[in-house]
Amino acid sequence: MIRWVLASPGLIALGLFIVGIIYTVALSLHYYKVAVGPPKFVGWDNYFQLFSDPTFSKALAVTVTFVATAALLETAIGVALAYGLMWTRRRGVYVGLLTIPYLVPSVTYVVFWRYMLDYRRGALAPVAEFFGFRIPDFLGNPDTALWAIVGLDVLQLTPFVTLVVFAGLLAVPPEVISAARIDGARGFSMALRVVLPLASSAILAALFLRLIDAFRIFVKVWLLTRGGPGDSTTTLELYLYTRGIYTLDLGLASAVSVVLLGISMAAIVPYVYLVAKTWRA
């Protein structure tokens, strides 16, 4: 009996989550604008409208590009930093310094970098002019705006990956490393053949967590570019806000939510499987 009492908060939250998904899917099959009238069943019309909208197709491509690029870069850099920390003596100091960007609130972090990257009035502008060059308008150029946001995301969230992987590396038995050294393993050979494979669960967990969380990119895009220039940085969440919530077209917004959830499941399902496999072990 006590196990069900302890598990009840999680089960209630899971039940509400499932009910919310079912309601969202049902609402996505209706035309429903709050100011117009009650929901009207229209079948797949909202989805046909979405996939015939070039802005939605662009937002989908931008979202996938951002998620894949940011998550892979953060994982690669985080693994490298974690492996370096493993062999560092004053690791506590370096861990503290690395986590500073991650601990800063997202809004504060974004506003700070928006000011720093302002090519006209930013803090770096006079420094650049002193050395005889100008800071490019990264956020105002459709060719660089998305990559600037990716860079800021990597800078802020790589410490998260580093901490997760570092914890996994600390669990590697020292006697295994000693035996590998006796066998002649050094440098990349030690990393790729001995240490990192033993921490593969932590690395995969960090990768899947970043993939899942990266789909929720909204604050950075909204505060930095509002989805522009043009639609070069419009993500699915921003499209959901501007085309659904902002205009109170809840049927269309629900359809966008269902599509976003379906794409997110590509990362959620492997992560759940990884966690369940670890528990069984």
What CATH number should be reported for the domain holding residue 99?
1.10.3720.10
Mean pLDDT of the chain: 87
pLDDT given at position 164: 92
pLDDT of 122 higher than 80: no
Is 153 domain-assigned?
Answer: yes
| For range 158-180, the mean pLDDT | 88
Name the phi and psi angles at 99, rounded to 5. -85, -5
- The full DSSP string for 111-173 is HHHHHHT-TTTSTHHHHHHHTT-----TTT-TTTHHHHHHHHHHHHHHHHHHHHHHHHHHTS-
Is 117 domain-assigned?
Answer: yes
Is 49 domain-assigned?
Answer: no
> Using 50, 70 and 90 to split pLDDT, how confident is the model at 93?
confident
Is 247 domain-assigned?
Answer: yes
pLDDT given at position 115: 87
Tokens of 75: 């994982």
pLDDT given at position 30: 93
Residue 138 structural domain: 54-280
Is 22 domain-assigned?
Answer: no
Burial of residue 235 (number of CB atoms within 10 Å: 0-12, 13-18, 19+)? buried
pLDDT given at position 94: 82
> Contact 259/84 with Cβ under 8 angstroms?
no
Residue-wise pLDDT for 124-143, tens only, equals: 888 778 787 888 888 889 99
> Using 50, 70 and 90 to split pLDDT, how confident is the model at 26?
very high
Is 59 domain-assigned?
Answer: yes
Distances (CA, A) of 151 to 43, 114, 221, 238: 41, 13, 12, 19
pLDDT given at position 279: 65
Is 130 domain-assigned?
Answer: yes
pLDDT given at position 244: 79
- What is the number of structural domains in the chain? 1
Q: How do the residues of the chain divide into helix, strand and coil, expressed in percent and rounded to 5?
A: 75, 0, 25
In Å, how far from its chain's centre is CA 51? Answer: 24
Residue-wise pLDDT for 48-81, tens only, equals: 999 999 999 999 999 999 999 999 999 999 999 9
The upper half-sphere exposure of residue 79, i.e. CA atoms within 13 Å in the direction of its Cβ, equals: 21
Is 154 domain-assigned?
Answer: yes
